[in-house]
Amino acid sequence: MNSDLISQAMLDGIELRRQCSETLTEPLLSAASIIVKCLQGGGKILACGNGGSAADAQHFAAELVNRFEINRRGLAAVALTHDASVITSIANDFSFDQIFSRQVEALGRPGDLLLAISTSGASRNVIAAVEKAGEIGMNTIALTGKNGGELGQNSNISVHLNIDYGSTPRIQEMHITCLHILCSLVDDDLFGGAS
Ligand SMILES: O=C(CO)[C@@H](O)[C@H](O)[C@H](O)[C@H](O)COP(=O)(O)O
Ligand SMILES: [Zn+2]
C-alpha cells in the first residue's frame, strides 16, 4: 500500500482550500444571497449532478429541508437525482441527457433556483437542465471544476463557483465545503445563527 497517496491527498486538499479561501468569498456571498431571495419569495431549489455530485445535490437538499446546524423551519429544496422510476423512464423513453431537464420542466417555476453541479462542466444532462431553467425564468447557481467547461460558459448562470483544479475528487471535496458554507450563510441570514 502506498502511504504517499494519503499525504498527497491531504496536502493537496489543504493547498486547494487555501487557494479557494482567497477566491470564493464573493461568489459564495452572491450565491447565498440568491438562495435567500428565492426562499423568501416562496421559491424552491432544485439540485442536480451525476455520481458524487448527485450525492452532493441530495446532501444539500437534506440540509435545507431538515436541518444544518440549528433547528429551524424546513426550507424548500428537492434533489432531482433519487427517483429511480422518474429517472429510468425519462432515460428509457427519451434520453439520459434529459433526466434533469424534464424534471426541471415538470417542477420548476419562475423564481425557483437550480443548483447545477458538475466537476467537468461537460455533463450534457446538467447543461440541459440549466437551459431548461433559463427558459422557465429560474436562476442557476453552477458549481464546476477544472476550467468550468461548457457549463461555466452558459449564459443562464447567475453565479458560478469554479474550483480551478484538475482532480475530480479534490474538486468534489471543495464543492461540499462550498455547500456547507452556503447552508451556514443562509441559516445565518434567515434565522440569525449559523451555529
Ligand atoms: O465521484 C466521482 C469521482 O470522484 C464520480 O462518481 C463522478 O462523480 C462521476 O464520474 C460523474 O459522472 C462525473 O460527472 P461530472 O462531475 O463531470 O459532471
Ligand atoms: Zn467522488
Q: What is the pLDDT along the chain (195 residues), one digit of tens a residue?
A: 999 999 999 999 999 999 999 999 999 999 999 999 999 999 999 999 999 999 999 999 999 999 999 999 999 999 999 999 999 999 999 999 999 999 999 999 999 999 999 999 999 999 999 999 999 999 999 999 999 999 999 999 999 999 999 999 999 999 999 999 999 999 999 999 544
Structural domain span for residue 90: 4-191
Q: How far is the CA of 166 from the centre of ligand 2 (A)?
A: 13
d(CA 130, CA 149): 14
> Which CATH number does the domain housing residue 116 bear?
3.40.50.10490
The model's pTM: 0.97
ipTM value: 0.99
Residue owning grid cell 455520481: 51
Known binding residue 118? Answer is: yes
Residue pointed to by grid coordinates 432515460: 91
Could you give the number of structural domains in the chain? 1
CB atoms within 10 A of CB 96: 16
Instruction: Report the run of H or E that residue 11 belongs to, with start and end.
Output: helix 4-23
The ligand placed nearest to the CA atom of residue 51 is 1
- Contact assessment for residue 36 and residue 190, using Cβ atoms and an 8 Å cutoff: yes
